[in-house]
Amino acid sequence: MASWPFSPEHDELRKSIRAFVETELAPHASEWEQQRDFPDAVFRRMGELGFLGLTYPEEYGGGGGDYLCNVVLAEEMTRCNSAGLAMAVAVQTDMAVPPVFKFGTEEQRHRYLPSAISGHKIFCLGISEPDAGSDVAAVKTTARKVDGGWRINGRKTFITNGRRADVMTLVARTGRDAGHQGITLFLVHTDTPGFEVARELDKLGMHSSDTAEITLTDVFVPDEAMLGSEGEGFYNISWELQGERLVGAAGAIAGARRTFESALEYAGRRTTFGKPIGRHQAVGHALAEMATEIEAAQQLVYAAAWKVDRGEYPVREISMAKLLTGRVAWTVADRALQVFGGFGYAADSPVSRAWRDARLIRIGAGTDEVMREVIGRIEGL
């Protein structure tokens, strides 16, 4: 039965996504985690099922749904038991491609959206650099105007889908001394001469997603590769980051709920000193706190998503949801691992995977510290 903010149509979508995730993705999670990779065919299969374009207009191959459809997708993707895979898909659906629809020309929309929605073209987002992450205005990758286009030079790092991507939505500096006004977005094909994957990064968690460092050396892109207007890239990518943070929060807290449910089930069947460990007050109270924190964080996510769905731009609520869900997801994973004890600490344990993966949400798309700064400014500090 549908509950706020979802409708019966969202529930039907949820059933469809869940069936796919549990039958076609989850059985391969351990293998893909060990291989530290998953097949590109996952994107094409999700495109075939319509899951990569839920909110885009039908004229581009999308489903024409509302924003809450993407929240449903983010929640149900946690059932694949591989946060790295879920994150790779979210980069496609909610991070790298939305700016094409929001800021692109009609020619750019028709050129890129159908192939992204079908999963035949994979996208990545080129923001972070060795010396610039949350501070987007500090990017040093430059785009210099030349006849017929732009020459791009620089480095990008921590790029999810960086190895497998066909197209990068790139943040570059076009004005050396223009500050925020000197940032511009470009669509860069990864087979362009000078675009190189310098190395793949080994990470604490999110093992199934490829994360790369990219070098761009005299990469030429034509004028029509510019996304939006020159000098408006900082404001445009700031808009993108709000969607990235909210969908990340939705996935993080949904994953935390599943981790909690696993710990709750284990606490009911594992016995020590003659009774289930959940009956011991220390464990029972920990589980009660986990349930409470998850519910509070999830309602904050839903409140923010409801406002976005109504056409609002709730930076305050999104920032709060990002901050809170990151902390709750990490705390829940840590407490759940404690409930499982030695079984949880085993490398192939699902809860140990959740513990490793949950730590990223407090760093990616804006650290806890940056979220506190944003919230503080909004509150007038």
| pLDDT at position 275 over 90 | yes
The string of DSSP codes covering 250-272 is HHHHHHHHHHHHHHHHHHHH-EE
Please list, in sequence order, all residues whose beta carbon lies within 8 angstroms of the beta carbon of residue 349, skipping any fewer than 6 positions away: 340, 343
Fold held by 124-232: Butyryl-CoA Dehydrogenase, subunit A; domain 2 (2.40.110)
Question: Band of the pLDDT at 101, cuts 50, 70, 90?
Answer: very high
| 191-221 per-position pLDDT tens digit | 999 999 999 999 999 999 999 999 999 999 9
pLDDT at 330: 97
Q: What predicted TM-score, i.e. pTM, was given to this entire model?
A: 0.95
Judge whether 224 counts as a catalytic residue: no
Domains 124-232 and 235-378 share a fold: no
Strands 167-173 and 123-126: parallel
| pLDDT at position 2 over 70 | no
Tell me the pLDDT of the chain averaged across its residues. Answer: 96
pLDDT at 32: 96
Strands (DSSP E) contained in 179-292 are 183-189, 195-200, 211-222, 226-227, 271-272, 275-276
Number of other residues whose CB lies within 10 A of the CB of residue 59: 11
More confident of the two residues 177 and 89: 89
3-class state of residue 197 by DSSP: strand
Rounded distance between C-alpha atoms, residue 299 and residue 295, angstroms:
6
| pLDDT at position 36 over 70 | yes
| 308-347 per-position pLDDT tens digit | 999 999 999 999 999 999 999 999 999 999 999 999 999 8
| pLDDT at position 176 over 80 | no
Helices 315-340/233-269 angle, 10° precision: 30
Number of other residues whose CB lies within 10 A of the CB of residue 70: 24
| pLDDT at position 298 over 90 | yes
Specify the CATH number for 8-122; select among 3.40.50.720, 3.20.20.100, 3.40.50.1220, 1.10.540.10: 1.10.540.10
Question: What superfamily in CATH does domain 235-378 come from?
Answer: Butyryl-CoA Dehydrogenase, subunit A, domain 3 (1.20.140.10)
| 57-94 per-position pLDDT tens digit | 999 999 999 999 999 999 999 999 999 999 999 999 99
3-class state of residue 346 by DSSP: coil
| 248-268 per-position pLDDT tens digit | 999 999 999 999 999 999 999
Alpha carbons within 13 angstroms on the beta-carbon side of residue 27 total 5
| pLDDT at position 305 over 80 | yes
- Mean pLDDT across the stretch 355-377? 96
pLDDT at 308: 97
Q: Where are the domains of the chain?
A: 8-122, 124-232, 235-378
Rounded distance between C-alpha atoms, residue 262 and residue 270, angstroms:
12
Cα 153 to Cα 215, 216, 307, distances in angstroms = 8, 5, 39
Q: What percent of the chain has pLDDT over 90?
A: 94
- Mean pLDDT across the stretch 282-308? 98
Residue labelled with tokens 């990864």? 190
33, 76, 240, 244: which one is catalytic?
244
pLDDT at 347: 83
Cα 288 to Cα 30, 282, 285, 294, 295, distances in angstroms = 30, 10, 5, 10, 11
pLDDT at 1: 55
